[in-house]
Structure 1
Amino acid sequence: MYDLTAMAAWIEFAVRWLHVITAIAWIGSSFYFIALDLGLHRDRNLASGADGEEWQVHGGGFYHIQKYLVAPDQMPGDLVWFKWESYATWLSGFALLMLVYYLGANFYLVDPAVADLAAWQAILISLASLGFGWLAYDWLCKSRFGEDNTRLMVLLFVILVGMAWFYTSVFSGRAALLHLGAFTATIMSANVFLTIIPNQKIVVADLIAGRVPDAKYGKIAKQRSTHNNYLTLPVIFLMLSNHYPLSFASEYNWLIASLVFLMGVTIRHYFNSMHARAGNPHWTWAATAVIFVVIMWLSTAANVTGADREEAQGAGLRFAQAEGYPEVHDIVMGRCSMCHAAEPVWEGLHWAPKGVRLDNAYQITRNARAIYLQSGLSHAMPPANLAMMQEGERAAIVAWYEGATGG
């Protein structure tokens, strides 16, 4: 049991690391090319026939960059396509979603106090929602309504608000915000895979053949790239939100998630304006600060603790009935609950770290795996062993968990 659990934890860590690496690569290249395109000098009559140019300095070297709207006389054989960063980010993210939220659905995805779903039902809702997101978005973009990009983006924001409310109505708070991020990231990656890259290939083929490309392909790709540009920062926030219970463990978590998208718009508008030399819109920082203050207030205006029952039920019943549970219950209540409680008594703490409560039977059995990994197999908790947990107590936790799971 030890080897399998430890291996699963390391696999999850490896996939998470891969996801972070590929996301950095995708976001970095995306932000760079957006800044480059907006900052090109297009008022110069270039002998090369390029549409614009820019000189940059980095790492002790100077770079002269030019953008062409038509194919050069001889198409280079080593043309680089920036697409794999996007694909790898989504694939690794989906793998992580399966490892954490699908395989651990009873712990992380389902909260009976929100919606009493079976694990398979919650997983189907998750998958269906991601597919729905892309299909609905793509249909709107291709419709006549989508011809006005401002109008379209307003409607998309309304849809995101609706999805935020939906997710918080069916999943745990942590899973809800994570899924809203996955919902948005799926749209972004599908934009690259199903629209932007195919359209670019059509344009390149026309240019190589000496044909004038249809302007609609560039217009469509530009629209989708603009959407991706403004959605990137909210997705990062939502993906990190599961580490900050103030963002998801609130009655207004759906509203907090919605406001995050507005912050993404204000921040990106500032940098886009600066890159395009279109002025310095300082008001965007004031707007961002106001939105963030509202989010801070909403996070503490009400506190939703999720399932708040004293008796374990569902999947936790197995752990409550396992041999050694009474001893483990006393260990956790004595060593952990002073911090992991609705009202922590440890000085300086005002809420349970990461939203994890261990102050009643339901919460202890629901978080059995985390207790096993953090305080049984490892010495991660209590931090610096401030609660003076003994080795015998850690051994009791291991014996209890492995006895309950057949290890």
Structure 2
Amino acid sequence: MYDFAVMGAWIEFAVRWLHVITGIAWIGSSFYFIALDLGLHRDRNLASGADGEEWQVHGGGFYHIQKYLVAPDQMPGDLVWFKWESYATWLSGFALLILVYYLGAEFYLIDPAVADLAVWQAVGISLASLAFGWVAYNLLCRVFVDANQTALMVALFGVLVGMSWFYTAVFSGRAAMLHLGAFTATIMSANVFRIIIPNQKIVVADLIAGRTPDAKYGKIAKQRSTHNNYLTLPVIFLMLSNHYPLSFATENTWLIASLVFLMGVTIRHYFNSLHARTGNPHWTWAVTALIFILIMWLSTAPLHQGEEPETAQGADLRFVQAEGFEDVQDIVLGRCSMCHAAEPVWDGLHWAPKGVRLETEYQIARQARDIYLQAGISHAMPPANLSYIEEDERALIVAWYRAATGS
């Protein structure tokens, strides 16, 4: 029988790889076009009627780029659309959310110490929150359509702070940070799917029909694209946060997540100002550094431990009851728990790596799949085999996991 844990791990790896590839493509094109738009020379009377132009050099060649404020006089025959990068990034990210957090809800999504949810409840909250994000954001854009755009960004920041608190109140710290990233990425991708591309299609349809396109469609699309530009860096931070417990396993996780969005604004403000030739605001780096130092200080609050049951619950009981669990428990306690503990005894460690604790039956059962893959099938753990786990001990871990899962 094929090892479904191994197959699942490789599928997860493949989807994650795809997600990173498409994310690079989307972010790269987004950053490039924002920089291009800001850097266009609009003080030139161009014979083509374009709004601005710029000369660039790359890869041994020169590029002459022009932008039309609304549209050219005639529809070009070889128009390139930038949309699949966004769609593929969201779809692969959602697939990864299903593989890791929905199918592994008991391990990564639900923390009984935070909210004792059933799997269906946790998944339902996750899906509803992503839909709510787009509805709330789109409504704000419509309400503030004629207002100062700074007011809109402040209102959006208020929503993000509220969602930061909400996610930490219902999910594990790791899942809370990841979901805030997914919440924001859903808004960004929906901007492309629901606003930017449809508006561009309206302009194209007008050109084909011989009508003069309305400039408002391009203006709205540019507004949403600018929002995406400022939200990109926080999303990347939130997606990477699951590797660093200091960001997701403290009492101040929601504050840390909120401040990350401010850092995204300060960093992008610097580059956008530079590209627009409106100044070189070095102060933004000082502000970013101060915010990051504040985040570091907030992370030193006690790590969120919570009160965990002393015995396994639900589906985890099969791992405790499986043949060989006593031997595996002794192996884990002897080879792993000196680091993976509430108070690690390994010199230099102040918290459990990735927030994973392996001191009780319940904790070992919850991490059964990772123990199997990282210490049984592979030699990833312990790192450099610092605790000298033996091959026969790895074999016992493999036999125990397979006995529990029937694989």
Q: Is the 8 A contact 2:70 2:214 kept in 1?
A: no
Q: CA deviation at 1:386?
A: 1.5
The 2-side partners of 1:146 and 1:260 are apart by: 28
The 1-side partners of 2:326 and 2:40 are apart by: 68
Q: CA deviation at 1:363?
A: 1.4
* Correspondence for 1:148: 148
Q: What amino acid is the match of 2:104?
A: G
Structure 1 outlier segments of 4+, above 4 Å: none
Q: Is the 8 A contact 2:75 2:204 kept in 1?
A: no
* Correspondence for 1:105: 105
* Correspondence for 2:246: 246
The 1-side partners of 2:131 and 2:223 are apart by: 21
* Correspondence for 2:400: 400
Counterparts of 1:368-383 in structure 2, within 5 Å, are 368-383=368-383
The 1-side partners of 2:306 and 2:242 are apart by: 15
Q: Is the 8 A contact 2:115 2:169 kept in 1?
A: yes
Task: Provide closer, same or farther for how the CA distance between residues 394 and 146 of structure 1 changes in structure 2, counting only shifts above 3 A.
Answer: farther
Q: Does 1:119 align with 2:119?
A: yes
SS at match of 1:301: coil
Q: CA deviation at 1:306?
A: 4.2
Q: CA deviation at 1:349?
A: 1.8
* Correspondence for 1:357: 357
Q: CA deviation at 1:73?
A: 4.7
Q: CA deviation at 1:216?
A: 2.2
Deviates more, 1:363-372 or 1:204-213: 204-213
Q: C-alpha offsets along residues 140-195 of structure 1, whole Å, 9 cap, x if unaligned? A: 21225764322111111011111011111111110110000000000000000000
Q: Is the 8 A contact 1:172 1:306 kept in 2?
A: no
Q: C-alpha offsets along residues 92-118 of structure 1, whole Å, 9 cap, x if unaligned? A: 000000000011111111111110001
Q: CA deviation at 1:220?
A: 1.5
Q: Is the 8 A contact 2:112 2:308 kept in 1?
A: no
* Correspondence for 1:53: 53
Q: Is the 8 A contact 2:335 2:387 kept in 1?
A: yes
SS at match of 1:389: coil
Q: TM-score under structure 1 normalisation?
A: 0.97
Q: C-alpha offsets along residues 110-144 of structure 1, whole Å, 9 cap, x if unaligned? A: 11111000111100110111111111111221225
SS at match of 2:3: helix
Q: What amino acid is the match of 1:357?
A: R
Q: CA deviation at 1:70?
A: 4.8
Structure 2: which 5+ runs fail to align?
A: none
Identity percentage over the alignment? 82
The 2-side partners of 1:59 and 1:155 are apart by: 42
The 1-side partners of 2:275 and 2:390 are apart by: 57
* Correspondence for 1:135: 135
* Correspondence for 2:35: 35
* Correspondence for 1:344: 344
* Correspondence for 1:280: 280
Q: C-alpha offsets along residues 341-399 of structure 1, whole Å, 9 cap, x if unaligned? A: 12222222222111111122221111111101111111111112111111111111111
Deviates more, 1:62-71 or 1:362-371: 62-71
The 2-side partners of 1:225 and 1:179 are apart by: 22
The 2-side partners of 1:23 and 1:178 are apart by: 15
- Give the root-mean-square deviation of aligned CA atoms: 1.5
Counterparts of 1:49-88 in structure 2, within 5 Å, are 49-88=49-88
Deviates more, 1:212-221 or 1:87-96: 212-221
Q: Is the 8 A contact 2:70 2:218 kept in 1?
A: no
Deviates more, 1:228-237 or 1:362-371: 362-371
Q: CA deviation at 1:317?
A: 2.5
Paired residues, number: 407
Q: C-alpha offsets along residues 38-81 of structure 1, whole Å, 9 cap, x if unaligned? A: 00011111222221111111122111111123544543221000
The 2-side partners of 1:232 and 1:381 are apart by: 33
The 2-side partners of 1:307 and 1:122 are apart by: 19
Q: C-alpha offsets along residues 301-344 of structure 1, whole Å, 9 cap, x if unaligned? A: 22112454433333333222222111111100100111111222
Q: Does 1:169 align with 2:147?
A: no
